């Protein structure tokens, strides 16, 4: 067991084109005065390698450009078991759009060795599971606790992109697109539930409707346009091109109908008040635990398996 105070680790703020990245950088500096910044690097793999290069410690904390961490996190200590010594840890974040709590946009803790050896996204080694995600690596550990809030809704484009990416990725199983007949069984139940929330909840949030439209369109293109290359979701420029050509009032009625009839997905147009009600009372079975508790361990405890 190796104990590391989080305050002894370098902290890298990784921003790209987030509309509020300068405002958030000021907040990050107030929270974490020793933080350094990497900005504007194209490609997720390249950006993470730039973040590793900016750190002077072999293990470091990474904060995304639309994330605000909770101050309490930096007072905690990591008790890293021997078998986890070279693993990446990602803690949950609360999503400002729809209230979901999972790893998307959350604080993470990386090792330089892991990042320099990985081949993902635009630098993929050709495997489906590496083309659009980091999380399928067995050394990438999803953690239980929530230590930040993510705000992927700084503009219409930003919210659309966030929804579109999740609308694609949550349809996949280890980076592979399922067929229509296996969609409901192949997609993990937790991802399926979160996908439906992305599709329907958030009109009470700033630009939340754009995130909903983006999520629905991402699912539609992934599952109902088989000629579309879903690995393009890794490229912000490809999503931005879709956004620039997108007229929701022209295309969404047909997309909504096809998501319902061909994928049997619930498409509900909740208004602002209904969205707020859902987010307040939706149970996500979250129990705070020790900082080093993996998500899967808490699932086993609560579900009894």
| pLDDT tens-digit readout, 136-192 | 688 999 999 999 999 999 999 999 999 999 999 999 987 889 888 888 777 778 889
Residue 128 or 66, more confident: 66
- 3-state class (DSSP) for residue 203: coil
From CA 75, how far away is CA 69, in angstroms rounded?
12
Tokens representing 304? 């009894």
Q: What is the mean pLDDT of the chain?
A: 92
Residue 148 sits in the same domain as residue 171: no
Residue 147 sits in the same domain as residue 200: no
From CA 168, how far away is CA 242, in angstroms rounded?
13
Residue 51 sits in the same domain as residue 36: yes
| pLDDT for residue 65 is more than 90 | yes
| Mean pLDDT, rounded, for 52-63 | 98
Whether residue 83 lies inside any domain: the answer is yes
Whether residue 122 lies inside any domain: the answer is yes
Residue 84 sits in the same domain as residue 55: yes
pLDDT of residue 181: 83
Tokens representing 221? 């293109």
Whether residue 279 lies inside any domain: the answer is no
pLDDT of residue 299: 85
Q: How confident is the model at residue 122 (pLDDT cuts 50, 70, 90)?
A: low
User: Any idea how long the chain is?
Assistant: 305
From CA 23, how far away is CA 48, in angstroms rounded?
22
pLDDT of residue 156: 98
Whether residue 129 lies inside any domain: the answer is yes
Residue 147 sits in the same domain as residue 9: yes
From CA 136, how far away is CA 126, in angstroms rounded?
14
Taking the model in full, what pTM does it have?
A: 0.93
For 136-158, b where at least 16 C-beta lie within 10 A, e where not — what string?
A: bbeebbbbbbbbbbbbbbbebbb
pLDDT of residue 257: 98
CB-side neighbour CA atoms (13 Å) of 242: 27
Region for 43 from its dihedrals, namely left if φ exceeds 0, alpha if ψ lies in -120 to 50, beta otherwise: left
Find how far residue 6's CA is from the centre of its chain. 22
Whether residue 280 lies inside any domain: the answer is no
Residue 295 sits in the same domain as residue 232: no
Residue 39 sits in the same domain as residue 83: yes
pLDDT of residue 174: 79
Beta bridge partners of 171: none
Residue 63 sits in the same domain as residue 103: yes
Whether residue 278 lies inside any domain: the answer is no
Residue 264 sits in the same domain as residue 138: no
Per the structure, the count of domains in the chain is 2
Domain holding 167, by residue range, is 156-270
pLDDT of residue 175: 83
Residue 266 sits in the same domain as residue 185: yes
pLDDT of residue 158: 98
Residue 22 sits in the same domain as residue 57: yes
Is the Cβ–Cβ distance between 76 and 291 less than 8 Å? yes
């Amino acid at each position: 067991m190796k104990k590391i105070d989080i305050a002894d680790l370098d902290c890298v703020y990784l921003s790209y084109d987030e509309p509020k990245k300068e405002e958030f950088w000021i907040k990050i500096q107030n929270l974490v005065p020793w933080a350094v910044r990497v900005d504007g690097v194209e490609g997720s793999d390249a950006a993470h390698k730039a973040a590793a290069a900016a750190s002077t410690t072999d293990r470091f904390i990474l904060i995304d450009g639309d994330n605000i961490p909770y101050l309490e996190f930096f007072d905690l200590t990591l008790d890293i078991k021997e078998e986890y010594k070279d693993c990446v840890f990602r803690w949950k974040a609360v999503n400002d759009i729809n209230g979901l709590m999972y790893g998307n946009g959350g604080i993470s803790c990386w090792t330089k060795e892991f990042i320099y050896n990985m081949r993902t996204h635009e630098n993929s080694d050709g495997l489906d599971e590496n083309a659009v995600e980091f999380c399928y690596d067995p050394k990438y550990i999803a953690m239980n606790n929530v230590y930040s809030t993510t705000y992927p809704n700084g503009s219409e484009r930003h919210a659309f992109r966030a929804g579109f990416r999740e609308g694609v990725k949550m349809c996949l199983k280890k980076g592979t697109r399922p067929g229509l007949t296996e969609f409901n069984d192949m997609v993990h139940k937790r991802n399926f539930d979160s996908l439906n929330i992305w599709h329907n909840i958030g009109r009470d949030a700033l630009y939340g409707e754009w995130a909903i439209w983006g999520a629905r369109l991402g699912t539609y293109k992934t599952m109902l346009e088989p000629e579309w290359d879903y690995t393009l979701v890794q490229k912000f420029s490809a999503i931005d091109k879709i956004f620039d050509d997108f007229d929701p009032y022209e295309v969404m009625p047909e997309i909504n109908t096809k998501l319902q009839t061909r994928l049997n997905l619930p498409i509900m147009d909740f208004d602002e008040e209904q969205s707020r009600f859902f987010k307040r009372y939706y149970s996500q079975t979250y129990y705070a635990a020790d900082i080093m508790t993996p998500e899967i361990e808490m699932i086993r405890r609560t579900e009894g398996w």
